[in-house]
Amino acid sequence: MVQFPRGYLRAMAKAGLPAIPGWDEPVHTLKHLEHLWQQPAPPTALLAYDDQSAGRVIKWLLQRGLSVPGDVSVVALHDIGLAQIDYLPSPSITCKANMQEEMASIAVEKLLHLIEQPQDVLKPVTLVEPRLVIRESSGPCPDSQQDHKQAEKGGRNHETEMKQASFASVE
């Protein structure tokens, strides 16, 4: 978890966006959303810490008459199990898959290998490729849909002129 704050700061700096103080404190979510929607160009995509936080964000957006994902896409970094529950209100939440089973399996395999062959030296780190589970809360950037239609008609170069989603992290 310690890497998230550093990764967030690096990503925001790389994107040329200001870091939002308190982004990782759930208690400030609604305050951050209010601030973002007071800006001249509110974001078209939001990244929440987990699916519970994403649910709060979606509720806030819907209460203000915004469409998810039509106006704003919402994605969660952690799937704590709420994203796929079908009795929760729509839309279902796009999130990074919970990779605990894969990581546990790798750890057990390494441990068993070391028990059987203690003289072996194993790589200290095994990278597990993250997997994005796309559900109903995310979609194309609203402006990019129009640009894509014009590009298909030959009116514009879609690759160079397509607008990118403005991005904000709320937690």
The CATH number covering residue 63 comes to 3.40.50.2300
**Closest Cα partner for 158 from 139, 145, 171?**
145
Report the C-alpha gap between 87 and 35 in whole angstroms: 31
**Closest Cα partner for 4 from 124, 96, 107, 134?**
96
Domain that holds residue 8: 3-97+131-169
Number of domains in the chain: 1
Count of other CB atoms within 10 angstroms of residue 126: 12
In a domain, 117, yes or no: no
Report the C-alpha gap between 76 and 26 in whole angstroms: 13
Ordered per-residue pLDDT tens for the chain, 171 residues: 456 677 778 888 898 888 777 666 767 788 888 888 998 888 999 988 888 888 889 999 999 999 999 999 999 888 877 656 655 667 888 988 878 888 889 889 988 988 998 888 877 788 888 888 898 999 998 876 554 454 444 443 323 322 334 445 555
pTM of the model: 0.68
In a domain, 53, yes or no: yes
